[in-house]
Amino acid sequence: MSTAPKTVQSKDSSLSEKGLKAGSVGLIGAVVIGVSCIAPAYTLTAALGPTVSEVGVHLPAIFLVGFIPMLLVALGYRELNNAMPDAGTSFTWATRAFGPWIGWMGGWGLIAATIIVLSNLAAVAVDFFYLMLAQIFSNPELGELSKILPLNIATTLVFIALACWISYRGMETTKGVQYVLVAFQLLVLGWFAVSAFAHVANGTAFDATAISPDWFNPFAVDSFSQFAAGVSLSIFIYWGWDVTLTMNEETKNPEKTPGRAATITVLVIVIIYMTVALATLSFAGVGETGLGAGNPENQSSIFAVLAGPVMGPFAILMSLAILSSSAASLQSTFVSPARTMLAMGHYRAISPKFGKISPTYKSPSFATIAAAIAAAGFYVITRTVSENALWDTITALGMMICFYYGITALACVWFFRAEAFRGARAFFFKFLAPLVGGVILLVMFVKTAMDSMDPEYGSGSSVGGVGLVFVLGMGVILLGVVVMLVMYRLRPEFFKGKVLTRA
């Protein structure tokens, strides 16, 4: 029997270890990751209709313009991520820059945006799930099942619960699956565009509309309100693109891969968005009847309506592409609000319960379940109140992204204010780009918020004479303020700056 004393734990893991496989991602891999974060098939079906309803044929122009603030803010995001890698991202950075109150709201905005997108992803997945059943069994009645409210809500909750469970178990989408998903999405979207143009050429399009240079002119949009709404929606379609910029050690060539991958991702995405947007407009026009892209009936999920007439029997591939990409995104998107809540719990900005990690699966346990409950709750409320839940959640989501991304960008400017004028590189990446991007996003946020008070805004749902989008967007932010004040009473140490100090 040994009598040797117990030795002290040997620390053979260094804290600098990031937990990511170093050097495992090449250029193509990084582009695949970038495209999969955007999930173009899902984003297009969700955002194309609402954007057309605001800007009509100027859709291509808005899609191009919407990329600019996204790019500017992403550059600032990258600087913050390099200087202060932290699970709390926007929450931590805004706290370090502006103090606990704004930091807390930044974190809340990020959580709210990801929760909203979770419920929208689940809803889109459910729609296409039933649509696919209808296509498989050639029975359109099955597709109508998704319109039965209790069944729709029940199925969506099942999807959310499944994704939550997978995320809780720490299961991840593997490289092979991700390559297939991305290739499949791009292939099907390309197919859709080619078929649509073929119909236009053959004279079999619903409302063949000739492409005009005017479509690319953002200044031709009727009003600033519509322009702001369009831009805040197109922020959503690029949300995810910048993931490649923040990749470092995991790439095979940290010097060059992230920048090149980001550029290629943007090119791929812009090309596919432009092609599909032009194809949709040329095929269907912006008329408000039938298959027209201006028909409010079609706008919540454009491919659900157009894929059949455009692709014929192969429309089932579109359903499959959207279902698979939104299901994969649903699972990976769960990670984000869970980790932000975990970080906020860790820094005592909310209950430390949120900081719990599952001993078995090593994933944020309490926070993942909380995210699922919040997403489910948000969906049930929106679906019950709104005439068109998908549409209104996407519009509210655009607002929320503008809000937290705007705060993050300005946090970058303020955090690096001392180094901003040390050379041209610092001036551009740490000051000018995030400043301009952040200001644009916050202006879009304020403008959209004001416009959305109109009961006719978005899908035209309203609560007490105020537009539903406003109620959803501002309601969530106000709820955040209330929760923050409660937290201030319960755990003042964070709000007194004792946990995370201002830089």
Q: Which of 501, 19, 22, 76 is nearest to 257 (CA)?
A: 22
The bridge status of strand 462-463 relative to strand 466-467 is antiparallel
CA distance linking residue 270 with residue 63, whole number of Å: 8
Smallest separation, CB 13 to other proteins (Å)? 4
Smallest separation, CB 405 to other proteins (Å)? 9
Side-chain-side CA neighbours of 74 within 13 Å: the count stands at 22
Smallest separation, CB 229 to other proteins (Å)? 23
With H, G, I as helix, E, B as strand and everything else as coil, classify residue 357: strand
- Beta bridge partners, 357, equal 364
Q: Which is nearer to other proteins, 9 or 202 (CB)?
A: 9
Smallest separation, CB 243 to other proteins (Å)? 5
Q: Which is nearer to other proteins, 10 or 138 (CB)?
A: 10
Smallest separation, CB 258 to other proteins (Å)? 11
Q: Which is nearer to other proteins, 279 or 394 (CB)?
A: 394
Structure tokens at 43: 């984003």
How many degrees, rounded to 5, is the angle at CA 321 between CA 325 and CA 368?
20
Smallest separation, CB 33 to other proteins (Å)? 5
Q: Which is nearer to other proteins, 21 or 425 (CB)?
A: 21
CA distance linking residue 80 with residue 250, whole number of Å: 18
Q: 497 — alpha (psi -120 to 50), left (phi > 0) or beta?
A: left
Smallest separation, CB 359 to other proteins (Å)? 4
| Residue 487 one-letter amino acid | M
Q: Which is nearer to other proteins, 135 or 257 (CB)?
A: 257
Structure tokens at 111: 């959580």
Q: Which is nearer to other proteins, 8 or 482 (CB)?
A: 8
In the complex, which residues of this chain contact other proteins (CB under 8 A)?
1-7, 9-13, 15, 17-21, 24-25, 29, 32-33, 36-37, 77, 81, 85-90, 92, 110, 114, 170, 172-175, 177-178, 239-240, 242-243, 246-247, 250, 328-329, 332-333, 335-336, 339-340, 342-343, 346, 355, 357, 359-360, 362
Do residues 112 and 382 lie in contact, with contact meaning Cβ atoms separated by under 8 Å?
no
Q: 15 — alpha (psi -120 to 50), left (phi > 0) or beta?
A: alpha
What's the Rg (C-alpha) of the chain? 23
Q: Which is nearer to other proteins, 92 or 226 (CB)?
A: 92
Smallest separation, CB 244 to other proteins (Å)? 9
Q: Which is nearer to other proteins, 3 or 202 (CB)?
A: 3
98 phi/psi in degrees, rounded to 5: -115, 0
